[in-house]
Amino acid sequence: MKPPIESVNLKTIMKLTILGSGTIVPDGSRNSSGYFVELPDARIMLDCGAGTLHALARYQLPWEQMTHLFVSHFHADHIGELASLLFAFSYGTKTTRSKPFTIIGPHGLQGVLDALETAFGGKLLKTKFPLNMRMLGPDEALQLGNESELSVCKTLHTAESLAVRIDANNHSLCYTGDTAYSEALVDFFNGADALISECSFREPRDYVRHLSVSEAARLAARANVSTLILTHFYFDVDEEHLEAEVQKEYSGNIIVGRDGYSLELK
């Protein structure tokens, strides 16, 4: 059995840090989508939108020890710094990286990486460390380490978009990615300790595949998750008012996400 990654507190099963709680809209306080999850046997980044790479350093996270990146879908606010992250591993670490790095995402990921490789002169994927890619279809799963597993579910957003669930030692952390409301996600997120949920709009919009405040609340309530972490806002957030709106449908713990927020599951 492999030993735990060195700097993880063994009493902490999962530690989440929000790198970006915003959208594609430029915002001085919210980067585009990105989250960093520390596990006893893995470190995984969920999406890598604009601003998230430097946020790893700003919040003093052990990014050089990252083992995986999960890509929910291919919109710019979720993969905008994918190339920068790979270049940082190749040229920006204090020590030469030798450990493997695995990029996980929907089918179509290979095409995205090939296009980036062409755009950056054929140097992006020529790393000095093993670079692996794993494309997952709906309802597939992948072991991150001896103690943790990642599984995915189709979302109603783009043709490829996926939600993700990470389970480790009887704890679970879920992330919607971008999505409209779906009963399939209710089942997929059932009983999670924490759900990172997009909350794009104050009111439902029939013509876009995103969650409104009430839909995010209903999803968390029906899935019986313990903590709901709201992110990905296209509106100016009034935390007190937003919490009050969510409490109309959801009685669990509510966190209005912000860049730099950290949560530990023990």
DSSP-assigned states of every residue in the chain: -PPPPTTS-TT-SEEEEEEE---SS--SS--SSEEEEEETTEEEEEEE-TTHHHHHHHTT--GGG--EEE-----HHHHTTHHHHHHHHHHS-SS---S-EEEEE-TTHHHHHHHHHHHTTT-SS--SS-EEEEE--TT-EEE-SSSEEEEEEE-SSSSS-EEEEEEETTEEEEE--S----HHHHHHTTT-SEEEEE--BSS--TTS---BHHHHHHHHHHHT-SEEEEE--SS---HHHHHHHHTTT--SEEEE--TT-EEEE-
Q: What is the pLDDT of residue 211?
A: 98
pLDDT of residue 86: 96
pTM of the model: 0.94
Question: Where is average pLDDT lowest: 6-20, 39-53, 212-226?
Answer: 6-20
Tell me which residue has tokens 């594609």.
Answer: 24
Per-residue pLDDT averaged across 181-197, rounded? 98
Predicted pLDDT of residue 3: 36
Q: How confident is the model at residue 11 (pLDDT cuts 50, 70, 90)?
A: low
Contact criterion met (CB below 8 Å) for 142 and 44: no
Report the chain's mean pLDDT, rounded to a whole number.
94
Q: Stretch 165-175: mean pLDDT, rounded?
A: 97
pLDDT (mean) for 21-44: 97
| Unique residue bearing structure tokens 């595949």 | 209
Length of the chain: 266
pLDDT at res. 26: 96
Res 135 pLDDT > 80 = yes
How far apart are alpha carbons 227 and 265 in whole angstroms? 11
Per the listing, tokens 């999803």 go with 219
Single-letter amino acid, residue 256: V
Q: Are 136 and 162 in contact (CB under 8 A)?
A: yes
Q: For residue 206, what pLDDT is reported?
A: 84
pLDDT reading at 36 higher than 50: yes
If one counts every other C-beta atom within 10 angstroms of the C-beta of residue 23, the result is: 24
Dig out the tokens for 181 from the structure. Answer: 């409301």
Averaged pLDDT, 136-150: 96
Rounded to an integer, the average pLDDT of 57-81 is: 97
Instruction: Tell me how far apart the alpha carbons of residues 155 and 266 are, in angstroms, rounded to a whole number.
Output: 29
Give, in degrees to the nearest 5, the angle at Cα 136 between 132 and 138.
Answer: 170
Task: Say whether pLDDT at 9 is over 60.
Answer: no
Token pair recorded at residue 42: 């893995």
Work out the average pLDDT over 62-86: 97
For residue 229, what are the β-bridge partners?
196, 255
